[in-house]
Chain A
Amino acid sequence: MGIHRGHNARPLEWLAEKGILVVSLTAIVMVFLIFAFVTREALPLLLGQMNSAARQAVIPVADLDKIPPEKLRAYLELTPEQFKAMDRDTKELLMQTKVDAAKEAPEDKDAGVNTTEWRYLLLPHQWTGYDRPSYIWQPVSTIKKYNLVPLIVGSIKATFVALLFAVPLALAAAIYVSQLSRPQYKEIIKPAIELLSGIPSVVVGFFALIVMATVLQKIFGYESRLNAFVAGIALGFAIIPVVFSIAEDSLTSVPRSFTQAALALGASRWQAAWQVVLPAALPGVFAAVVLGFGRAMGETMIVLLASGNASIMSWNLFDSTRTITATIAAEMGEVVAGGDHYRILFLIGAMLFVVTFFSNMAAVLVMDRLKKRLEGKT
């Protein structure tokens, strides 16, 4: 029988403690709400209820009274309040507009295609005017093309460059600061790198756009001034502090006794670091990389400014690129609320959330196991 303090003599205290518990649930509630409400906007698309075909089935005006009101509302693309407020004549007018519009529908084999179906989102398709099946993201067009692959590839390219650039640098610096340098330096270097993380990402993007892009183009001589490579390097600036601080923490939390044992056997400082400490801290280093990956995938302003924003499908690092995040940021301002473009943007936002959620979980689980292992519990 545990002895607990919840005693009736102090109801105010008990109430306050329950209140504290309730408020602490906010974090959990928020994570759910984020997932729920982002997915909510994408739900009609996920459930296949949206139809983005350029040429839609037309209901003759004479059938106004025959079709169920809910179906008529969806057909006329009105919100429930608008539909209720509208009188019969206006509805008739709208139906006539639709009939007229149908006459002007493009004579295109793809005009009847619902481009929000999953096969068009993910698989290549031979659109009219293209000589072979391609992945096209072109939401502003008579035939709206919503293929997600160019965006996914764009995010992957930029993240790949970022990790390639940032991880070796951050890891090397972490080893240096944690194991090799004099302890006094640590007091200056750590806050300095933290200061780097204090630079807003829009400023890093601005710097990449105005300064770095030109410099890098001169050095490497590629065609597009703004591309995945430039954006990736800039992304690297942003994730170096993240990878550094977690890797450095992991290296430092390896008990000094390991290092001292190695040194007492005659190893040099770097041998001890490389052969004893780093392997022991490897899970933490791995977690740092995973968190860096998540951060790079989710970064918006840098890629918006520095990647060129051409949504073409290409694995070439030096081509102008569009990422998932940049797409959401750039296009959300111009979509019709509730329309298919709007919902697709929420869809890719939800996908991004899921990816970073799982990569975060993986990193945390790995870190927990590292902590337990160093404390001798596994």
Chain B
Amino acid sequence: MSTPATTHFRAKEFRLGSFLFTGLTGAATFLILAILVVILTDVVIHGLPNLSWRFVSTIPKKDIFDPATTGILPMIVGTTIRVLLMTIFVLPVGVITAVYLTEYAPNTALLTRIIRAAVNNLAGVPSVVFGLFGLGFFINFVGKNLDAILHNGSQAWGQPSLIWASLTLAVMTLPVVIVATEESLKAVPPGLREASLALGATKLKTIVKIVLPQALPGILTGGILSISRAAGEVAPILFTGVAYYMSTLPTHLTDQFMDLGYDVFVLSTQSPNIDKTQPILYATVLVLLILTFALNIVAILIRSNMRRKMRLLQ
């Protein structure tokens, strides 16, 4: 009995191409992750020692460059308020639009495709153009006309302020909310809708009582992602309300505000003594990163939890 020549199906030669290709692409992936790690490590190493409760809770008296007296409380407050205001505007509009696209819009209709195209385009508009939009539309048109209508002589509304900056950011992050909400609406099993309709519920009631509660985690994810994105953006607020320095915290919708990201920019480029300022610059960056990352991680966790639950439901 003769044995066949090859019974083991093992590769005769070492496949160089395969190794190289996998190695190179793996190395590329590793490099990208390394970039992330390097940036984070650098910020944490240089920022953490300079982070203190005093720093985070102080309003700077005059000079934001002096490590001894400065603080970032107004920046934290400013960033937080503008982002919360934005959420009030963007969540309802975004969720309703997503509901329309998923539940009502006929897929082949021209209007549906135009709306989707518009959402896509909004997502691609440069952030500085949003700033120009905020200036040209909200401040110069809406604000100035509001002042004219109110006849009170003051120019309160025709100026850069919290309200216009927040509205500008709402327009900017609308696509984020719409996409996240649509994803979660699509994940609701159609059987649930059918069951509700077969019982004699109207479409609207079905959406409100059955579909939206199921989609809540996804909507939440969208909201959190939009907050995280808006918190870090500086260009849209440059002309729509951010201030270089304010001695008090903002209290009215027409107030200007300070901002963490803008502060990073100012400290980086306009400091009289960069070596002296560097510690507080790093600490500010660290706070900004903690804020955006915490939000991002929460959103990712909610989303993966939701996806896991969906798989169980199927």
B-binding residues in A (CB < 8 A): 5, 10, 13, 16-17, 20-21, 23-28, 30-31, 33-34, 37-38, 40-41, 168-170, 172-173, 175-177, 180-181, 189, 191-196, 198-207, 209-211, 237, 240, 244, 268-271, 273-274, 291, 294-295, 297-301, 304-305, 325, 328-329, 332-333, 345-346, 349, 352-353, 356-357, 359-361, 364
Contacts and interface: CB of A to CB of B under 8 A. Distances in A.
Given A298-B128, A300-B126, A26 B174 contact: yes
Contact of B265 (A31, A196, A237, A304): A304
Nearest to B269: A305
Contacts of A5: 203
B293 A195 contact: yes
B15 interface: yes
A292 to B, nearest CB: 11
Contact of B118 (A31, A170, A173, A294): A31
Contact of B32 (A41, A170, A269): A170
B272 interface: no
Given A13-B202, A31-B118, A356 B126 contact: yes
A10 B202 contact: yes
B136 A38 contact: yes
A325 B234 contact: no
A203 B228 CA distance: 14
B122 A30 contact: yes
Given A38-B133, A207-B42, A274-B21, A20 B100 contact: yes
A173 B268 contact: no
B1 interface: no
The binding surface of chain B is classed by DSSP as helix
A96 to B, nearest CB: 29
Report the 4 A-B pairs with minimum CB-CB distance, sorted nearest first.
A200-B232, A298-B126, A172-B28, A176-B25
The binding surface of chain A is classed by DSSP as helix
B101 interface: yes
A297 B296 CA distance: 25
Contact of A17 (B104, B120, B231): B104
A269 B18 contact: yes
A175 B137 CA distance: 43
Contact of B18 (A172, A194, A270): A270
Contacts of B128: 298, 300, 325, 328-329, 349, 352
Contact of B278 (A28, A210, A300): A210
Contact of A364 (B26, B120, B228): B120
B204 A201 contact: no
Given A176-B28, A325-B126, A25 B235 contact: no
B268 A209 contact: yes
Contacts of A41: 132, 135-136, 140
A28 B232 contact: no
A45 B56 CA distance: 46
Contacts, number: 260
B100 A198 contact: no
Contacts of A328: 128, 131-132
Contacts of A170: 28, 32
Given A191-B300, A202-B261, A270-B17, A297 B126 contact: yes
Interface of B: 15, 17-18, 21-22, 24-29, 31-33, 35-36, 39, 42-43, 92-93, 96-97, 99-101, 104-105, 114-115, 117-133, 135-137, 140-141, 171, 174-175, 178, 202-204, 228, 231-235, 238-239, 261-262, 264-265, 268-269, 278, 281, 285, 288-289, 292-293, 296-297, 300, 304
B265 A211 contact: no
Contact of A27 (B22, B31, B115, B133): B115
A41 B133 CA distance: 10
Given A180-B26, A211-B42, A196 B137 contact: no
Contacts of B281: 206, 210
A64 B79 CA distance: 51
B207 to A, nearest CB: 9
Given A195-B300, A203-B232, A207-B42, 6 more contacts: A24-B115, A38-B129, A198-B293, A203-B39, A209-B269, A325-B235
A270 B22 contact: yes
A346 B265 contact: no
Nearest to B301: A191
A298 B32 CA distance: 22
A21 B239 contact: no
A346 B105 CA distance: 36
Contacts of B135: 41, 332
Contacts of A353: 125-126, 129
A349 B104 contact: no
A23 B97 contact: yes
Given A5-B203, A198-B293, A237-B35, A360 B124 contact: yes
A198 B228 contact: yes
Q: Identify which of B21, B125, B129, B235 gathers the most chain A CB atoms within 10 Å of its CB.
A: B129
Contacts of B17: 268, 270-271
A229 to B, nearest CB: 16
A203 B202 contact: no
21 contacts: A16-B204, A20-B99, A23-B100, A24-B101, A27-B122, A27-B175, A28-B115, A28-B118, A37-B140, A40-B136, A41-B132, A193-B36, A198-B296, A202-B288, A206-B265, A274-B21, A298-B128, A300-B234, A328-B128, A352-B126, A356-B126
Contact of A169 (B28, B118, B235): B28
Given A27-B118, A356-B126, A33 B137 contact: yes
A40 B133 CA distance: 10
Nearest to A179: B25
Given A204-B39, A244-B32, A360 B121 contact: yes
Q: Identify which of B25, B140, B231, B239 gathers the most chain A CB atoms within 10 Å of its CB.
A: B25
Q: Identify which of A16, A38, A209 gathers the most chain B CB atoms within 10 Å of its CB.
A: A38
